[in-house]
Amino acid sequence: MAEIRVHLLGGAEATAAAQLAPLLNGAISLTEGTAVPAGTQILVGGVPTRDQLTSPQLTSLIIPWTGLPRRTAELLGDFPHVQAYNLHHNALMVAELTVTLLLAAAKFILPLDRAMREGDWSRNEPTRTVLLSGKMCLILGYGAIGQRVAPVCRALGMTVIATRRQPAESDGIAHEIHGSCALPDLLPRADAVLVCLPLTGKTRGLIGGEELALLPENAVIVNVGRGSILDEEALFTALRERRIAGAGLDVWYNYPQDDASSSNTQPSSFPFADLDNVVMSPHRGGSVIETEQLRAEALAEMLNTAAAGQPLPNRVDLERGY
């Protein structure tokens, strides 16, 4: 088995060599830091610099999360011999949060919780609480996350329909799997819409005012993909005017730029916080106690696959953006 030279870049979501090394087979040589040694074949990091990609032996960039940063995509265009891959270690926890946000929004949990803390029982408005059993759930993006959400929604008694890039036969969990072009026909049927899509040129602004107007008035939307997939103003207006029942949002439009701004950055230019029919979450779908251990295990599995001479999974298509 030939030696594989792997280098870990630093960063907030970096896996430390000390955590990863015990999980690797003996054919893998591991280094870490901002300086990439000559001979590196696999680089692990989300947003490398141009200099960090210049090793002639470099063939692979593993982005240690799901998604392709725009700056990385642009840079990789100049390095056609370097293929990018994602880790999907966070799919299970994002799926759990997706269901959490769906239930919290449908059951009007947060305003009732706030009222009860003040001894106020008067906010118990049954006409605003949505029954999910017997309803239709539309999952946009039937990938690693969507496929974990689907069986939970079925267990709640929902009929599950899903979209992916190409239509497919039912997999026994989703009742129907449509191509993305079917969206206008599917939205009027959807009592819940779960957005599990990556952000690409085709998905940016996918759900705007016209699409929201197609939904039933008691529909609930959950977004764990990227904020810009839903038009910001259109979503706020639909919620404020109660043209949909509610929303659970883990992804946003404005983000803190540094640690100093992390405690005083509004997530949108619109006052979503004034609405009682939205559940707001700070992009924490992939954050659980076990996150770093799961990341290390997924990365080790991928690197051991490379050392065995097998093709790496989760290859990123730069043209599609995922």
pLDDT at 88 over 80: yes
- In tens, the pLDDT along 247-262 reads 999 999 999 999 899 9
* Stretch 28-39: mean pLDDT: 94
pLDDT at 320 over 90: no
Q: What is the pLDDT of residue 242?
A: 96
CB burial of residue 191 (10 Å; 0-12, 13-18, 19+): buried
**CA-based diameter of the chain, in Å?**
69
pLDDT at 117 over 90: yes
Residues 6+ apart with CB under 8 A from 252: 227, 267, 268, 283
pLDDT over 90 for what percent of the chain?
89
pLDDT over 70 for what percent of the chain?
98
Q: What is the pLDDT of residue 1?
A: 59
- In tens, the pLDDT along 130-167 reads 999 999 999 999 999 999 999 999 999 999 999 999 99
Spell out the domains of the chain, with CATH numbers in brackets: 4-86+290-307 (3.40.50), 91-280 (3.40.50.720)
pLDDT at 202 over 90: yes
Going by pLDDT thresholds of 50, 70 and 90, the confidence category of residue 87 is very high
* Stretch 183-194: mean pLDDT: 98
User: Among 13-17, 44-48, 170-174, 303-307, where is mean pLDDT lowest?
Assistant: 13-17
- In tens, the pLDDT along 240-297 reads 999 999 999 999 999 999 989 999 999 999 999 999 999 999 999 999 999 999 999 9
Q: What is the pLDDT of residue 102?
A: 98
Going by pLDDT thresholds of 50, 70 and 90, the confidence category of residue 15 is confident
d(CA 314, CA 316): 6
Length of the chain: 322
CA distances to 67, 177, 212, 322 from 172, in Å:
27, 10, 29, 25
Amino acid at 90: N
In terms of pLDDT, which residue wins out, 126 or 209? 209
* Stretch 30-50: mean pLDDT: 95
- Cβ atoms within 10 A of the Cβ of 92, count? 15
Per the prediction, the chain carries an average pLDDT of: 94
pLDDT at 61 over 90: yes
Please give the DSSP secondary-structure letter assigned to residue 78.
T
Going by pLDDT thresholds of 50, 70 and 90, the confidence category of residue 18 is confident
Going by pLDDT thresholds of 50, 70 and 90, the confidence category of residue 12 is low
Q: Which residues of 304-322 are buried (b: 16+ CB within 10 A; e: fewer)?
A: bebbeeeeeebebeeeebb
User: Among 9-13, 199-203, 241-245, where is mean pLDDT lowest?
Assistant: 9-13
